[in-house]
Amino acid sequence: MRAIVVTPETEVPHVREIARPEPAPGEALVRVLRVGIDGTDHEVIAGGHGGYPDGESHLVLGHEAIGVVEDPNGTDLDAGQLVVPTVRRPVQGGPTTYFERGEPDMAPEGHYVERGIAGEHGFMTEYVTSPAEFLVPVPPAFAETGFLIEPISNVEKALELARASRSAFEWAPESAMVLGNGSLGLLSVGLLDAAGFDRLYCLGRRDRPDPTIDVVERLGATYVDSREHSLREIPDVHEPMDLVIEATGHAPHAFETIDLLAPNGVGALLGIPGDDSVMLDGGRLHREFVLSNKALVGSVNSSVPHFRAALDTLAAFPDWLSEAVITDAFAPEAVESAFESDEGRIKSAIEFDTL
């Protein structure tokens, strides 16, 4: 069967024939429909993030998938059921405490591998196997869009951690800003819109016309150009933000978020930068952080409850949103085009099959 792989020699995603997997006891066999591509895939391909499975000279890419159960193999799943797989799995023979608690997303490095990212093959292939506990059932209506559940689930988790950090007092956030208008940023704007934020902003650095700015504005959010105003100026030009979700991977933004927040506000950081030295007035930021009861939380990955919340969010999106975000679906053979960047493109997927 066809799989999209990278190897250390090429670092260019390409199609390779691999053997169809056999489900082990407790695992189901899933026929893959679509697999999304995001910034993390590009970082994996460039070698900046993740790594190959032990002893393997290739990595099957893909961590955002939707598929259909081909063989439940004695698990509780039904044949024909649509499912979205989670990403983390325990290291073979390694510690499993976080998995037993249902919190693999909180596990420290060394306790997990990530399918399609770090140490384990991903979902960009015709069939995959997975323990049933890592397959989240979704209704048939999401056959084309369900792969968005994985990235949305990452934002659900970030929002959960942000809310938890404000749970000691009465926190009623009204204004929110998403930093970044990549696919994760746009899905974050969609999530906050669905969560009822009316005063919603999205920060980018692009000229109009741009399809991502169209999505931001169609959602009723305000597009703010970071080339016109620094994050420190935004509270005066617009308003201070009760909640900030950072989805750029631009390290200065993580710390500048402190200036952007309203008193008692919280910033959830999702971006994964490379090493980057940043010049900041640490004293002023530290003071502001403490004297205004602000919080910053970092958040990575997500667990099954976040996938379920993400399904609800996806279902609450306005009809046009998923279609506007998924600008392209490519056959596996068109893999080269699928990974190219293109001005009109927001998010592309590889389509292995349809329902």
Provide the sign of the torsion angle of the four alpha carbons 124, 127, 131, 133, taken in this order. positive
CB-nearer residue toward ligand NDP: 28 or 270: 270
Q: What are phi and psi of 307, to 5 degrees?
A: -65, -40
Largest CA distance in the chain: 60
The reply to whether 226 sits near ligand NDP by the rule CB under 6 A is yes
What whole-number distance in Å separates Cα of residue 51 and Cα of residue 17?
20
What whole-number distance in Å separates Cα of residue 241 and Cα of residue 250?
19
Give the DSSP letter string of 138-196. Answer: E-GGGTTTGGGHHHHHHHHHHHHHHHHHTTTS-----EEEEE--SHHHHHHHHHHHHTT
Q: Which does 272 bind (CB under 5 to 8 A by kind): ligand NDP, Zn ion, none?
A: ligand NDP
Angle at 164 between CA 265 and CA 257, to 5 degrees: 30
**Residue with smallest beta-carbon separation from ligand NDP:** 182
CB-nearer residue toward ligand NDP: 145 or 301: 301
* Selected binder of ligand NDP within 50, 62, 180, 332 (CB under 6 A): 180
Within 43-72, the residues that bind ligand NDP by CB under 6 A are 43
- Show the site string, 10-39: x = touches Zn ion by CB under 5 A, - = not: ----------------------------x-
Specify the DSSP class assigned to residue 125: B
Binding segment toward ligand NDP, per CB under 6 A, in 16-24, 39-47, 95-103, 138-146: 39-47
The reply to whether 188 sits near ligand NDP by the rule CB under 6 A is no
Binders of ligand NDP: how many residues, by CB under 6 A?
A: 26
- Show the site string, 291-330: x = touches ligand NDP by CB under 6 A, - = not: --------xxx-----------------------------
- Show the site string, 192-221: x = touches ligand NDP by CB under 6 A, - = not: ------------xxx---------------
Q: Which residues contact 266 (CB under 8 A, 6 or more apart)?
A: 162, 165, 166, 242, 243, 244, 294, 295, 296, 297
183 is in an annotated binding site: yes
Q: In whole angstroms, how close is the CB of 269 to ligand NDP at the nearest point?
A: 8
Q: Which does 248 bind (CB under 5 to 8 A by kind): Zn ion, ligand NDP, none?
A: ligand NDP
Q: Name residue 139's amino acid.
A: P
Residue 4 CA, chain-centre distance (Å), reads 20
The reply to whether 348 sits near Zn ion by the rule CB under 5 A is no
The number of helices, as runs of H, and strands, as runs of E, in the chain is 11, 19
Binding segment toward ligand NDP, per CB under 6 A, in 24-32, 36-44, 87-95, 215-223: 36-44
CB-nearer residue toward ligand NDP: 75 or 154: 154
Q: Do 182 and 247 contact (CB within 8 A), yes or no?
A: yes
* Selected binder of Zn ion within 6, 37, 40, 192 (CB under 5 A): 40
What is the number of other CB atoms lying within 10 angstroms of the CB of residue 335?
A: 21
CB-nearer residue toward ligand NDP: 29 or 270: 270
Q: Which residues contact 351 (CB under 8 A, 6 or more apart)?
A: 33, 34, 329, 330, 331
Q: What are phi and psi of 348, to 5 degrees?
A: -115, 160
Q: Enumerate binding residues for ligand NDP (CB under 6 A).
A: 38-40, 43, 151, 154, 180-185, 204-206, 226, 247-250, 270-272, 299-301
Query: Which segments are annotated as binding site for NADP(+)?
Result: 181-184, 205-206, 270-272, 299-301
Query: Which segments are annotated as binding site for substrate?
Result: 40, 114, 150, 154, 301
Q: Enumerate binding residues for Zn ion (CB under 5 A).
A: 38, 40
